[in-house]
Amino acid sequence: MSIMSHFTKKLDSLKFGGLYGEDFFLTWEKSADEIAAVFTVADALRSLRENNISARVFRSGLGISIFRDNSTRTRFSFASACNLLGLAVQDLDEGKSQIAHGETVRETANMVSFMADVIGIRDDMYIGKGNAYMHAVAGAVKEGNRDGVLEQRPVIVNLQCDIDHPTQIMADMDHIIHHFGGVENLRGKKIAMTWAYSPSYGKPLSVPQGVVGLATRFGMEVALAHPEGYEIMEDVEKLGRENAAKYGGKFSTSASMAEAFADADIVYPKSWAPFRAMERRTELYGNNDFDGIKALEKELLAQNGSHKDWECGEDLMKKTKDGKALYLHCLPADISGLSCREGEVAASVFDRYRVPLYKQASYKPYIIAAMIFLSKFREPQKLLSELERKNRARVAL
């Protein structure tokens, strides 16, 4: 019995042709089958690697990374995914230019892509800009390919935008799926996606929004909780409600961490900035209004400061299902008494969940690799089987 047959059979049951040749921006732009296909290929690639079978499907080619915000975890996940498949990573460092303009984007996107198979982009700082930038790059290389400028069309992988953080959230979900022994066991499980206090401010909204957008598609009960004033994008809330109706789950919002944690199977307490404030900040940056930005920062820090009780402590954890909910974080967390005086999570809680937290993160390289794989290869089943059959050692023995 081959290792891959489990995965290829699963793929045979799914309709995921829509992923081929396409970019990955937001999870909710993909069908349920397409999402399932990404998990399946991610697990298949992981299985190949665990069995020391090389998954090099490129003999040459570049993976371009564009990080418009600092990153260590996602940077290494992208590098790992590219390397696993045989691509060399080349960073595009744009220097200090914060928001590039249309013409430049079109030109640069083509100039770096003559031998690029993938472009991974992180651009999460400015509301209304990050996702739009990714689309601008995608449009440019699509045109470039159509016009005979680029021999291949690089696929865009969203490594975090202002709306969604698909590689993170899909890694989170793959972790949840494995934790509960299968996607079929998620139905009815309650996940508390809650705000938490942080002494810093202005953290992206892409994680809570991504969770609302994705977890509501598995028949789960998604309880979003945050202090008043920390609303996420309205469109995403609406999507949460629609998904809950469509997929037979629940979506609720509240201003109580305790309510969200009550009987939860999974908790994801994490700081983020109010959507409206981030909109204002983007506007202020657009106007080069640096006094306005400073004033906003002060206001936001004060606002945060009045919600220090939003900490994932032991008492709250006791309210969860059997007191043992799976604790999630995209890392790094603000750990009270460790990385800061008061933060998102009590040190004792964080410490107890360190191993599962690290495992949660371990899915990301495979999720990214799977997104590339499914966009680049029309017949992933055949290719996976072939990789196993060829059985070339990743590391010589």
Q: Give the Cα separation of 121 and 66 in Å (integer).
A: 5
Pick between residue 245 and residue 393 the one whose CB is nearest to a copy of itself.
393
Pick between residue 224 and residue 369 the one whose CB is nearest to a copy of itself.
369
SS3 label, residue 32:
helix
From the number of C-beta atoms within 10 Å of its C-beta (0-12, 13-18, 19+), residue 389 rates as: exposed
Size of residue set near a copy of itself by CB under 8 A: 64
Residue 32: partners with Cβ closer than 8 Å, 6 or more residues away: 217, 247
Is residue 56 part of the contact set for a copy of itself (CB under 8 A)?
A: yes
Is residue 103 part of the contact set for a copy of itself (CB under 8 A)?
A: yes
Is residue 148 part of the contact set for a copy of itself (CB under 8 A)?
A: yes
Q: Give the Cα separation of 61 and 113 in Å (integer).
A: 10
State the amino acid at position 250 in one-letter form.
K
From the number of C-beta atoms within 10 Å of its C-beta (0-12, 13-18, 19+), residue 156 rates as: buried
Is residue 391 part of the contact set for a copy of itself (CB under 8 A)?
A: no
Q: Give the Cα separation of 178 and 356 in Å (integer).
A: 11
Site string for a copy of itself, 347-366 (x = CB under 8 A): --------x--xx-xx-xx-
Q: Give the Cα separation of 126 and 197 in Å (integer).
A: 21
Pick between residue 61 and residue 249 the one whose CB is nearest to a copy of itself.
61
When binding is defined by CB under 8 A, the residue of 3, 18, 33, 80 that contacts a copy of itself is: 80
Pick between residue 83 and residue 303 the one whose CB is nearest to a copy of itself.
83
Please say whether the beta carbons of 174 and 363 come within 8 A: yes
Cβ of residue 194: shortest distance to a copy of itself, in angstroms?
Answer: 22
Pick between residue 14 and residue 89 the one whose CB is nearest to a copy of itself.
89
Pick between residue 61 and residue 166 the one whose CB is nearest to a copy of itself.
61
Alpha carbon dihedral 336, 340, 342, 347, in 10-degree steps, equals: 0
Summarize as ranges the residues that interact with a copy of itself (CB under 8 A): 46, 49-50, 54-62, 72-73, 76-77, 79-80, 83-84, 86, 88-90, 92, 103-104, 107-108, 110-112, 114-115, 117, 144, 147-152, 331-332, 335, 338-339, 355, 358-359, 361-362, 364-365, 376-377, 383, 386, 392-397
